[in-house]
A and B are shown apart, each in its own frame.
Chain A
Amino acid sequence: METNTKKKSLFWSLLDDKKQKWHVRFRFILVMAIALAAVTLAILVIAGVRLRSTERHLYDTNWVRIDTVLAGLGDGVVEQDTLNEEYDKIYIAKLINTDYHYSRVSANDVDDAMFRDICAYADVESAAIIDGDGKVYASWQCPYDFTLKRFNMLRACASVPGATAQPFSIEYEDGVKRFFGLQVGTDRVLVFVEDWTEVKANIERMTSWEAVLRGMVSVDTVSIAISLNDYTFLYNPIDDLTGKYALQNGVPIECLRETYEGELTFGGETWCAVGKQWNNAMVFVMTKADTNLSNDSLLIFLIAVVLIICVGLVTAYGVIINIDNVRMGTMPRFITLLKGKDSDGRRKNLLNFNLTVAQKVLPIMVMGILAVVLIGFYIQTLNSLSAIAYEANWATDEIGNKLERNTEDAETLNTEYKALFLDKCVQIARMLEENPQYIMEFDTEADNVHPQPVERNEAGEIVSGLDVYGNPCWSVSEQEFLINLCENNAIERIAVFDEYGRIMATNQEDWYFTITGDPEDQSYPFWEILAEHRDTTAQDYAGDGEGGFSQYIGTAFHYYTIQDEDGSTRYVTKEDYAAQLAGRWAGGPILKHRGLLQISIVPERLRSVMETATLTYVASHTTVHGTGSILICDTSPEHICIYSPDPNDIGRSALSIGYSAEAFNELGEMFNGIVTVNGTEYLLTSKLKGEHFIGAAVPTSTVFSTGDSFLPVVVEVTVVALLVVSLYMCLFGAGEEQMYRDNEGVDHSRVRNEQEPFLLTMPSGKTRRVRSAAARWDAEEVAWRDMTPDQKFGAVAKGVLSAFAIFVFLCIVASLLGLVKIEAVNYVYDGVWSRGLNIFALTRCIITLLLMLVGARLVEFIIESATANIGSRAETLGHLLSSVVRYGSALVSIFYALYLFGLDTGSLIASAGILSLIVGLGAQSMIQDILAGLFIVFEGEFRVGDIVTVGDFRGNVLEIGLRTTKIEDPTKNIKVFNNSNLSGIINMTKEASYAAVDVSIEYGESLERVEAVLAAELPEVKNRLPAILDGPFYKGVSALGQNSVDLKITALCKEGDRIQLCRDLYRAVYLIFNKHDINVPFPQITVSYLKEDEKPRQEEAKPNEVDRTLEKLSEDEEEEDDEDKT
């Protein structure tokens, strides 16, 4: 270090001034370059690390997600099995019922006609009865060769009494057939075959890859599946690739391993995918690589730009001050940090701290750090919030879609189940009608047989409890046959009701129940069956209000009775009744009664589908931003929670828990805001969706989960970078100190005239070099080399910040046009968010202001450059238009901002509130000014460049603004008039003016002589004074004054030359008069002295003095300066 400085000092001392200056400049520019490069590098490194970690985060998230997806697929398989099983059960039950119904089915003399009946009864496509070898004894529509080994499954159960075959399907060309078998009789198998195509398709649709994978994960994330059998996409929503060959559509074979992590490309976009094998398929969960990254890279990019600007400005300031010090020969104030000796043993300061520089750079540095922190925090918040809002929006939509889908599924199933079970119910009823002995034969002494209580109506007539024959009615509970039937048919309960609506037999314990005719009652549809209003009813699957779910189905059931000789009631079959109708009945009269058979079922699959169709299920299976959860409230004024992350809150009013009323916007606007519920702060995004308010609540503690490590690092880098740079700017060594000392007092500046531009000292002590105040509104600028360091810095900062503003402007415009994807900007513009004091409104406000500002500047520039060279009227109009653009854009921006922040500006304007506001603020005169300005321009009273006199102020019109007019007098002072004050203007701009002078002669002088002299001399004057356009003319005597005869002489000239010409004319006339001894009278005082007579002599000397002065003047050059008013 020491040798280095020594070398430097030696070297520098050899350099001449110019070289020294260049050396300093070079050194600092180098430093600046290095500093910027270093900062850029640091930012790049951080960005790289950051992007990597984001990508890592993405993969990690997807690894978690894929487990959820696989679990969902597992559920799908279970569901598929459940569904298959349920359908199978129904058909096996049909077999069993058929066996009960047709007790002769296993006999040897069965025929095909009977099987046609069976097919109709059981509602199956084909039926057959076969033995263990596959021999068909009777069949209907059954072309199958049961001797094939393919049907071993059916034949195998022939020898096992009561066995059912495991159902199996065969895919024939005309559809899928499913085979069911039941062992009946001895060594026979009753076979049903049903067309399974539709059922299979239904099941597959409900449990398909698409059903499971669609909308499974999160926004910008999809799951796809690839078959490992034929490498086709089982599901891929991107580019509609489902069913296409995967290997040539973006999935290399190498990806199809047990697990995979890496990038895949679909639809021209890169996806970060993780994959796992599952049941001979490969399942991928993948997220668009650029969605999260683009947000982050935007953040990094902006902070990097801000940081670079800050560092650049600090360095630039340091450089400017240092160079200025050298140039001006000023010795900077400094303190010595390190002292030492050089090789000659002389003491010297090795390291000095430049106070002058430090004083200036420090505030900028602090401002820079603040700016980086603020912008960083702001952008990060905006990013996170917009990402969450975006995701929440997606989630609420997805909930709606899922609900819709699940409800559709549930409806399909419900309809199918209703049909299937009604079918079953009717079968059972027919079977029991044919075989009343199954339920009607009971021992009245048994525990499960209960006598029905006898009920009478108001008139005392017996309503129920006794049958038509007067015998007591019995209710059989836990009836054995019905219990079996329930088991075989997967029915929860069966109840057979008599004509009075009372239970005759049931599989349940509870036997005391009566169907009522009350239309409000749940059992009313069943009463309608008894009343012969309808034959069947199937209720929708619904909750019973006690946590249970069941579906009630009923059909008419007829039973037939006859009174025995002993008076007791006997039940007979339908066949007997038919015999009576045919006149073949030998016994007593048979009565037909209309009862009711009611079954209730609990369809497992339907239940699970129903459950998934509920809001609660969908909500509990949706997460937002990892930790967020869903809140669902109804639209009542209390906003009762239907679903909430905390189960305790369900059923309570959302307002009472802590959610604010603004969160529930009836107009459909989205709400974003912080709410505190149960002591936890949540970021709540909510909106009205159909009949519910759906919100996504993300704990605020996790809002910045993906980016929290980033900001501190950036701040650290900023602080370190700025500190290092500023410190370096402030430190200098012995060599430079020497240079400063050598330089002291030597002014290298090339400012030729200290006066212009002159140095202006501000109240703060800073100096500016200016030409005039007009420089502010004129384009007039001080040359770079004439600027003070502060100004130079100002100019640099202004340039850099303008460039930044224009750059951001371009970015925003590009993003809005869709050329670049900046999600935050798009969200702020397209997304749904609530107005008010929030970050989105603020951002929108900033963006709008920026757009307005840059746009207005652009328009102003165009107007001004377009009108500049056309003429003064156009220029005036141009000025005016730019004013309108400037103030208009500002006004619109302010209103827009107010609107964004939630103020109702519409009504504010409508109620003329803004007008009264302006008047109230004393802006009345402003309006006057503006109107006056408009009149000035459009009536053309005067224009820019005209010479006018306002009151006693005469000058050139510099500018006509919307509110003020600026007039510059010949001494370059500018007076600013309010337009409304511009009254009684004399516009002195005309083609030519007359310069008129009055000269006086003595009364004693011969007028003829004077006139002759003037006539001879005046043409000469014209030759000497080029400003004279015509003349001078002698115009005669203008007045006979007290002391003189006044003559008028005029000359034609330009208005601008008039005043000077008057002066010149006076001078010329005076010279003429002197030449021809014509006296100009002046007041003469004759003083009489009694004794002395010398005094008058002194007074005679006066004309001589005047003469001398005049002569001197005539030697001066004549200047064409339009000077001064009189």
Chain B
Amino acid sequence: MRERRRWAAILLAALALCLLTSCGGITGGTLKVGVKDDTTNFSLYSAESQEYSGMEIDLARRIARKLGYGGVEFVAVTAATREEMLDRGEVDMVIATFSKTEERLEKYDFSTTYYTDYVGVMVEESSLIGSLSELKDCRVGVMSGSTNALTLAQYMAEQGAIPAFDEDSFTPAGFDGGVTFVEFETYADISRALEYGEVDAFAADRSILNVYMDDSRVYLPDEFSPQEYGVCTPKGSQLSAKVEKTVQTILSDGTMDELIQKWRN
């Protein structure tokens, strides 16, 4: 009996030690995470209940817990503001359908990809546009600050829909190589412009386009340019390595699959 009790004590101590070490030294405190507030299934803010919900929200909570934070504070960011807010230190990390590009990788640390999305193009049915080649001479609405315009132009050039162009000097607003781009501050604005006919197509990640889909709209059949979403931290941040480790754990132990499954309706 006494023997057994001693074993139990040792086991308990071991367990406690494990718990302590797994905390990685950070105890308490709040992790500030920049997230989107308008992307259903990824991160959506409900004004009524004043809460965020979505796959990225769940992911952020798990990362914070694994890192030993006491809580998570969500800060709404957009594609245009997320980099700036990260630079200014207003958020510790960004988990906001932030896709990795070479340019961004130079400026920020990205974790391993947790979700891969593709860029798609949505048009109104009444515009009778049925394929990417018909998109020639059209105005395409894109989110300012996103890479969608460039990837679309690249893809169209690849497909021969528009002539090849100089990618280095590419800016969405200034491009005029067979297709024009109109930049908007919010996705809702693009959707409205598409409705009114101010733009002829809406290019964005499919996960985002899904939110704005309705009966009178269609997707063009092409999907291109895989977008690898990663957790973004400032370059050389102390967090980077820990976040990377955590994300890898989440990916390897199946948690991420669970989350993706959970939020895929």
User: Which residues does A use to contact B, with CB under 8 Å?
Assistant: 145, 148-153, 156, 166, 168-172, 179, 228-231, 244-245, 247-249, 253-254, 256-257, 277, 282
- Supposing A150-B124, A150-B127 touch, asked if A248 and B53 sit within 8 A by C-beta, the answer is yes
Whether A248 and B49, one on each chain, are in contact in the complex, defined by CB atoms closer than 8 angstroms, is yes
- Which residues of chain B from 21 to 65 have any CB-CB distance to chain A below 8 Å in the complex? 40, 44, 46, 48-49, 51, 53
Whether B197 and A149, one on each chain, are in contact in the complex, defined by CB atoms closer than 8 angstroms, is yes
Whether A171 and B195, one on each chain, are in contact in the complex, defined by CB atoms closer than 8 angstroms, is yes
Whether B44 and A230, one on each chain, are in contact in the complex, defined by CB atoms closer than 8 angstroms, is yes
- Supposing A229-B40, A245-B48, A248-B49 touch, asked if A172 and B128 sit within 8 A by C-beta, the answer is no
- Supposing A168-B216, A248-B53, A254-B262 touch, asked if A150 and B126 sit within 8 A by C-beta, the answer is yes
**Once bound together, how far apart are the Cα atoms of A1063 and B213, in whole Å?**
119
Q: A170-B195, A253-B53, A254-B262 are in contact. List 16 more A-B contacts (CB 8 A).
A: A145-B197, A150-B126, A150-B197, A152-B126, A153-B128, A229-B40, A229-B210, A229-B211, A229-B213, A230-B40, A244-B48, A245-B46, A245-B48, A248-B49, A249-B49, A257-B265
Q: Which residues of B contact A169 (CB under 8 A)?
A: 216
Q: Which residues of B contact A256 (CB under 8 A)?
A: 265
User: Which residues does B use to contact A, with CB under 8 Å?
Assistant: 40, 44, 46, 48-49, 51, 53, 124-129, 138, 195-198, 200, 210-211, 213, 216, 262-263, 265
Q: Which residues of B contact A148 (CB under 8 A)?
A: 197-198, 200
> In angstroms, how far is the closest chain B Cβ from the Cβ of A718?
47
Q: Which residues of A contact B127 (CB under 8 A)?
A: 149-150, 152-153
**Once bound together, how far apart are the Cα atoms of A188 and B195, in whole Å?**
25
Whether B197 and A245, one on each chain, are in contact in the complex, defined by CB atoms closer than 8 angstroms, is no
Highest count of chain A CB atoms <10 Å: which of B197, B198, B265: B265
Whether A230 and B211, one on each chain, are in contact in the complex, defined by CB atoms closer than 8 angstroms, is yes
Q: List 14 A-B contacts (CB under 8 A).
A: A149-B127, A150-B200, A151-B197, A152-B127, A166-B126, A170-B195, A170-B197, A171-B195, A172-B196, A231-B44, A247-B46, A248-B51, A257-B265, A282-B265
**Once bound together, how far apart are the Cα atoms of A596 and B193, in whole Å?**
50
> In angstroms, how far is the closest chain B Cβ from the Cβ of A21?
42
Task: Name the one of A152, A170, A179 contacting B129, with C-beta atoms under 8 angstroms.
Answer: A152
Highest count of chain A CB atoms <10 Å: which of B46, B195, B198, B213: B46
Whether B126 and A151, one on each chain, are in contact in the complex, defined by CB atoms closer than 8 angstroms, is yes
**Once bound together, how far apart are the Cα atoms of A156 and B130, in whole Å?**
14
The chain A residue with its CB closest to the CB of B139 is A149
- Supposing A230-B40, A230-B44, A254-B262 touch, asked if A150 and B53 sit within 8 A by C-beta, the answer is no
**Once bound together, how far apart are the Cα atoms of A171 and B193, in whole Å?**
11
**Once bound together, how far apart are the Cα atoms of A148 and B40, in whole Å?**
30
The chain B residue with its CB closest to the CB of A166 is B126
Whether A170 and B196, one on each chain, are in contact in the complex, defined by CB atoms closer than 8 angstroms, is yes
Q: Which residues of A contact B128 (CB under 8 A)?
A: 152-153, 156
The chain B residue with its CB closest to the CB of A153 is B126
> In angstroms, how far is the closest chain A Cβ from the Cβ of B53?
5
Q: Which residues of B contact A172 (CB under 8 A)?
A: 196
Q: Which residues of B contact A245 (CB under 8 A)?
A: 46, 48-49
Q: Which residues of A contact B196 (CB under 8 A)?
A: 150, 170, 172
Whether B126 and A277, one on each chain, are in contact in the complex, defined by CB atoms closer than 8 angstroms, is no
Q: Which residues of A contact B211 (CB under 8 A)?
A: 229-230
Whether A277 and B46, one on each chain, are in contact in the complex, defined by CB atoms closer than 8 angstroms, is no
Whether A168 and B125, one on each chain, are in contact in the complex, defined by CB atoms closer than 8 angstroms, is yes
> In angstroms, how far is the closest chain A Cβ from the Cβ of B242?
28
Q: Which residues of B contact A153 (CB under 8 A)?
A: 125-128
Task: Name the one of A145, A150, A253 contacting B262, with C-beta atoms under 8 angstroms.
Answer: A253
The chain A residue with its CB closest to the CB of B138 is A149
Q: Which residues of A contact B198 (CB under 8 A)?
A: 148
Whether B265 and A277, one on each chain, are in contact in the complex, defined by CB atoms closer than 8 angstroms, is yes
Q: Which residues of B contact A247 (CB under 8 A)?
A: 46, 53
Q: Which residues of B contact A179 (CB under 8 A)?
A: 126
**Once bound together, how far apart are the Cα atoms of A228 and B213, in whole Å?**
12
The chain B residue with its CB closest to the CB of A281 is B265
A-B complex: 10 closest residue pairs judged by Cβ atoms: A150-B197, A148-B197, A248-B49, A153-B126, A168-B126, A245-B46, A152-B128, A149-B200, A228-B265, A149-B127
The chain B residue with its CB closest to the CB of A152 is B128
> In angstroms, how far is the closest chain A Cβ from the Cβ of B220?
13
Whether A231 and B197, one on each chain, are in contact in the complex, defined by CB atoms closer than 8 angstroms, is no
Q: Which residues of A contact B124 (CB under 8 A)?
A: 150, 168
The chain A residue with its CB closest to the CB of B213 is A229
Q: Which residues of A contact B216 (CB under 8 A)?
A: 168-169
> In angstroms, how far is the closest chain B Cβ from the Cβ of A147?
10
Q: Which residues of B contact A156 (CB under 8 A)?
A: 128
Whether A248 and B46, one on each chain, are in contact in the complex, defined by CB atoms closer than 8 angstroms, is yes
**Once bound together, how far apart are the Cα atoms of A229 and B128, in whole Å?**
25
Q: Which residues of B contact A231 (CB under 8 A)?
A: 40, 44, 53
The chain A residue with its CB closest to the CB of B46 is A245
**Once bound together, how far apart are the Cα atoms of A244 and B49, in whole Å?**
9
**Once bound together, how far apart are the Cα atoms of A148 and B124, in whole Å?**
12
Q: Which residues of A contact B265 (CB under 8 A)?
A: 228, 256-257, 277, 282
**Once bound together, how far apart are the Cα atoms of A244 and B200, in whole Å?**
32
> In angstroms, how far is the closest chain B Cβ from the Cβ of A601?
28
Q: Which residues of A contact B40 (CB under 8 A)?
A: 229-231
> In angstroms, how far is the closest chain A Cβ from the Cβ of B258?
10
**Once bound together, how far apart are the Cα atoms of A753 and B63, in whole Å?**
88
Q: Which residues of A contact B44 (CB under 8 A)?
A: 230-231
**Once bound together, how far apart are the Cα atoms of A503 and B90, in whole Å?**
84
> In angstroms, how far is the closest chain B Cβ from the Cβ of A156?
6
**Once bound together, how far apart are the Cα atoms of A249 and B46, in whole Å?**
11
The chain B residue with its CB closest to the CB of A249 is B49
The chain A residue with its CB closest to the CB of B125 is A168
**Once bound together, how far apart are the Cα atoms of A256 and B265, in whole Å?**
6
> In angstroms, how far is the closest chain B Cβ from the Cβ of A370?
56
> In angstroms, how far is the closest chain B Cβ from the Cβ of A1033?
97
**Once bound together, how far apart are the Cα atoms of A253 and B259, in whole Å?**
10
Q: Which residues of B contact A230 (CB under 8 A)?
A: 40, 44, 211
> In angstroms, how far is the closest chain B Cβ from the Cβ of A493?
35
Q: Which residues of B contact A229 (CB under 8 A)?
A: 40, 210-211, 213
> In angstroms, how far is the closest chain A Cβ from the Cβ of B136?
11
Q: Which residues of B contact A257 (CB under 8 A)?
A: 265
Q: Which residues of B contact A171 (CB under 8 A)?
A: 195
**Once bound together, how far apart are the Cα atoms of A150 and B200, in whole Å?**
7
Q: Which residues of A contact B51 (CB under 8 A)?
A: 248
> In angstroms, how far is the closest chain B Cβ from the Cβ of A940?
77
Q: Which residues of B contact A170 (CB under 8 A)?
A: 195-197
Q: Which residues of A contact B126 (CB under 8 A)?
A: 150-153, 166, 168, 179
Q: Which residues of B contact A248 (CB under 8 A)?
A: 46, 48-49, 51, 53
Q: Which residues of B contact A145 (CB under 8 A)?
A: 197
The chain A residue with its CB closest to the CB of B123 is A149
Highest count of chain A CB atoms <10 Å: which of B40, B127, B198, B216: B127
The chain B residue with its CB closest to the CB of A277 is B265
Q: Which residues of A contact B195 (CB under 8 A)?
A: 170-171
**Once bound together, how far apart are the Cα atoms of A414 and B213, in whole Å?**
34
Whether B200 and A253, one on each chain, are in contact in the complex, defined by CB atoms closer than 8 angstroms, is no
**Once bound together, how far apart are the Cα atoms of A169 and B125, in whole Å?**
11
Q: Which residues of A contact B46 (CB under 8 A)?
A: 245, 247-248
**Once bound together, how far apart are the Cα atoms of A244 and B50, in whole Å?**
12
**Once bound together, how far apart are the Cα atoms of A256 and B40, in whole Å?**
14
Q: Which residues of A contact B210 (CB under 8 A)?
A: 229
> In angstroms, how far is the closest chain A Cβ from the Cβ of B259?
10
Q: Which residues of A contact B53 (CB under 8 A)?
A: 231, 247-248, 253
**Once bound together, how far apart are the Cα atoms of A248 and B126, in whole Å?**
37
> In angstroms, how far is the closest chain A Cβ from the Cβ of B182?
13
**Once bound together, how far apart are the Cα atoms of A150 and B141, in whole Å?**
14
**Once bound together, how far apart are the Cα atoms of A166 and B200, in whole Å?**
18
Q: Which residues of A contact B200 (CB under 8 A)?
A: 148-150
**Once bound together, how far apart are the Cα atoms of A148 and B126, in whole Å?**
11
> In angstroms, how far is the closest chain B Cβ from the Cβ of A170?
6
The chain A residue with its CB closest to the CB of B210 is A229
> In angstroms, how far is the closest chain B Cβ from the Cβ of A417?
25
**Once bound together, how far apart are the Cα atoms of A231 and B43, in whole Å?**
12
**Once bound together, how far apart are the Cα atoms of A256 and B198, in whole Å?**
36
